Amino acid sequence: MSEYVIRFFLGGIAVSAFAMVGDILRPKSFAGLFSAAPSVALATLGIAVYLHGAGYAAVQSRAMIAGAIALAIYSVVVCQLLVRARLTAMPAALISLVVWLMVAFGLLAMFGART
Name which of residues 18 to 57 contact other proteins (CB under 8 A).
Answer: 19-20, 22-49, 52, 54-57
Residue 102 in the binding site for other proteins (CB under 8 A): no
Residue 93 in the binding site for other proteins (CB under 8 A): yes
**Chain centre to alpha carbon of residue 16:** 14
Distance of alpha carbon 22 from alpha carbon 35, whole angstroms: 7
Closest CA to 13 of 61, 47, 48, 56: 47
One of 1, 2, 110, 115 touching other proteins (CB under 8 A): 115
Residue 86 in the binding site for other proteins (CB under 8 A): yes
One of 83, 98, 102, 110 touching other proteins (CB under 8 A): 83
- Alpha-carbon distances, residue 13 vs 20, 25, 42, 80, 93 (angstroms): 11, 19, 11, 31, 23
Contacts of 8 (CB under 8 A, 6+ apart): none
Residue 62 in the binding site for other proteins (CB under 8 A): yes
One of 1, 2, 79, 98 touching other proteins (CB under 8 A): 79
Query: CB of residue 44 vs other proteins: minimum separation in angstroms?
Result: 5
Residue 95 in the binding site for other proteins (CB under 8 A): no
